[in-house]
């Protein structure tokens, strides 16, 4: 389908911001901006850390690639709704729920979707009992950060209690969860469809911030190693998980697989990365959609 890019008008590519994911967002924003400009879109860089957010009233629509706090948690979406400016991706409610891994999992649990076993930690938690419950290694993470910011693998007895205070600086509840080690996967959503899954094989112990954005030795298998039945199941689960929070436009659902082949929904990203390391572009490419086409397709969803 050919899209007349003139109908987009003046487009703000919103990126950067002040969250812990600022640098990733700037990289994503540059890639998106370059792609839209190459397709003839009247697109402009917009960093809310440097420009008053009210200036967005000067634009016809927004490509939101502002990762983390403010851009991904419903805040920017609420501002844009108030300005009556169309924007890419999920709305206020879906963004807010998805950004909070704990409450997102509560929604998924209510629908019977397979969740990674977890507990919420607090100052009175019996940390030794949590280590015994899940076994070692286990993972501990802040519930409302992205890009694996703050994620720690606990490998030694007594370590959970020691690292817990360091996570209080981040947003949201603090979660401890069972380590599921049969494989890490991502399944992206574009419109009403799921794209081919990707298996992620980090060289380090897990898919951390460094593996996502700084290393060049992380292996991405797309198509992944799933059987046709598992692939179908993952795509169906991804769509259900996305729909459960009221998702729209595009996103990415992350999964874990255990050694027996059971799939678990891990988290939902409503403003996924769009760097040269990112997963949505890799999945789209596997379906014959290049990066420029992908960016225009996402932006075109604001016309509906």
Poorest-confidence range of 145-149, 215-219, 284-288? Answer: 145-149
CA dihedral 165, 166, 168, 174 (to 10 degrees): -80
User: 181 pLDDT exceeds 60?
Assistant: yes
Model pLDDT, residue 208: 59
User: 210 pLDDT exceeds 70?
Assistant: no
User: 43 pLDDT exceeds 60?
Assistant: yes
Q: Can you read off the two tokens belonging to residue 261? A: 């082949």
Confidence category of residue 157, pLDDT binned at 50, 70, 90: very high
- Whether 122 is a known active-site residue: answer no
- Whether 229 is a known active-site residue: answer no
Model pLDDT, residue 203: 81
**Do 116 and 266 touch, CB atoms closer than 8 A?**
yes
Strands (E) in 137-249, as ranges, are 138-142, 152-154, 174-178, 184-190, 193-194, 198-201, 219-221
Average pLDDT over residues 64-70: 95
Hey, is 81 helix, strand or coil?
Answer: helix
- Whether 185 is a known active-site residue: answer no
Confidence category of residue 176, pLDDT binned at 50, 70, 90: very high
Q: Please calculate the CA angle 209-256-210 and round it to the nearest 5 degrees.
A: 10
Provide the CA 131 distance to its chain's centre, in angstroms: 27
- Whether 184 is a known active-site residue: answer no
Options 25, 27, 147, 197, the catalytic residue = 147
pLDDT digits (tens, 9 = 90+) for 215-235: 678 899 999 999 999 999 999
pTM of the shown model: 0.92
Options 118, 164, 213, 264, the catalytic residue = 213
Model pLDDT, residue 147: 55
Q: Compare 154 and 171 and report the one with higher pLDDT.
A: 154
Classify residue 76 as left (phi > 0), alpha (psi -120 to 50) or beta: alpha
**Do 63 and 14 touch, CB atoms closer than 8 A?**
yes
Model pLDDT, residue 215: 61
pLDDT digits (tens, 9 = 90+) for 18-39: 998 899 999 999 999 999 999 9
- Percent pLDDT > 90 in the chain is 86
Options 68, 74, 150, 273, the catalytic residue = 273
- Whether 21 is a known active-site residue: answer yes
**Do 39 and 296 touch, CB atoms closer than 8 A?**
yes
- Whether 254 is a known active-site residue: answer yes
- Whether 147 is a known active-site residue: answer yes
Options 17, 19, 21, 231, the catalytic residue = 21
């Amino acid at each position: 389908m050919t899209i007349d890019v003139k109908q987009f008008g003046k487009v703000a590519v919103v990126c950067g911001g002040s969250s812990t994911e600022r640098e990733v967002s700037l990289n994503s924003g540059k890639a998106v901006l370059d792609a839209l400009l190459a397709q003839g879109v009247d697109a402009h860089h917009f960093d809310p850390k440097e420009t008053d957010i009210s200036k967005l009233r000067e634009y016809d629509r927004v490509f939101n690639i502002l990762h983390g706090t403010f851009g991904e948690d419903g805040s920017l979406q609420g501002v844009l709704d108030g300005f009556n400016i169309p924007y890419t991706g999920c709305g206020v409610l879906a963004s807010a729920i998805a950004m909070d891994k704990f409450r997102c999992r509560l929604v998924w649990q209510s629908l019977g979707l397979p969740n990674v076993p977890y507990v919420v930690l607090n100052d009175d938690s019996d940390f030794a009992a949590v280590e015994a419950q899940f076994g070692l290694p286990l993972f501990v993470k802040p519930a409302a950060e992205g890009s694996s910011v703050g994620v720690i693998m606990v490998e030694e007895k007594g370590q959970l209690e020691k690292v817990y205070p360091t996570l209080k600086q981040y947003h949201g509840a603090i979660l401890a969860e069972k380590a599921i080690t049969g494989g890490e996967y991502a399944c992206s959503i574009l419109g009403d469809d799921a794209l081919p899954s990707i298996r992620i094989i980090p060289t380090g112990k897990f898919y951390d911030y460094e593996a996502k954005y700084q290393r060049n030795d992380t292996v991405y298998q797309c198509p992944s190693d799933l059987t046709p039945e598992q692939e179908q199941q993952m795509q169906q689960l991804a769509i259900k998980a996305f729909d459960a929070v009221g998702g729209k436009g595009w996103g990415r659902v992350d999964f874990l697989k255990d050694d027996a082949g059971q799939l678990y929904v891990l988290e939902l990203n409503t403003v996924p990365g769009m760097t040269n390391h990112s997963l949505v572009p890799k999945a789209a490419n596997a379906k014959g959609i290049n990066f420029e086409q992908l960016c225009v397709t996402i932006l075109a969803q604001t016309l509906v």
